[in-house]
């Protein structure tokens, strides 16, 4: 995947794929960095913003979690694709991370 990024550094999907691989390896800092890169490579990518928000809201490493930043990213994802259920799923996780369980449930 790193080779793909070298060949096409503007392809947000390559960044998302490598970020997902890092997350599965529990390399959360690297995953977050790649998800951030994806969101800057294609600012119109709801998937990229959603990936950042999900990791910031649900990461098992508390040094990575940041509910306030997750809120910013999920808001951008929802503005881009308000009808995608996976984004609403992430939104619920963000609400829960921020302690707003009533909104998370609804």
Residue 71 has a CB neighbour count (10 Å cut-off) of 19
Residue 46 has a CB neighbour count (10 Å cut-off) of 20
- Assess if CATH 1.25.40.10 describes domain 2-105: yes
Residue 59 has a CB neighbour count (10 Å cut-off) of 20
- 61-97 pLDDT tens trace: 999 999 999 999 999 999 999 999 999 999 999 999 9
Element (H, E) at 61: none
The DSSP code for 8 is -
Distance CA 89, CA 5 (A): 28
Q: Does the pTM of the predicted model rise above 0.85?
A: yes
The sign of the torsion formed by the CA atoms of 55, 61, 63, 68 equals positive
How is residue 103 written in tokens?
A: 């909104």
- 15-62 pLDDT tens trace: 999 999 999 999 999 999 999 999 998 889 999 999 999 999 999 999
| Domain ranges within the chain, ordered by starting residue | 2-105
């Amino acid at each position: 995947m790193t080779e793909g990024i070298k060949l096409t550094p503007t392809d947000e999907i390559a960044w998302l794929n490598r970020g997902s691989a890092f997350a599965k390896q529990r390399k959360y800092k690297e995953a977050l960095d790649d998800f951030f890169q994806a969101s800057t490579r294609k600012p119109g990518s709801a998937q990229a913003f959603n990936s950042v928000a999900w990791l910031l809201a649900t990461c098992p490493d508390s040094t990575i979690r940041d509910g306030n930043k997750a809120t910013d990213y999920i808001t951008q994802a929802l503005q881009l694709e308000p009808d995608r259920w996976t984004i609403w799923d992430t939104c619920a996780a963000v609400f829960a991370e921020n302690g707003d369980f009533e909104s998370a449930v609804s």
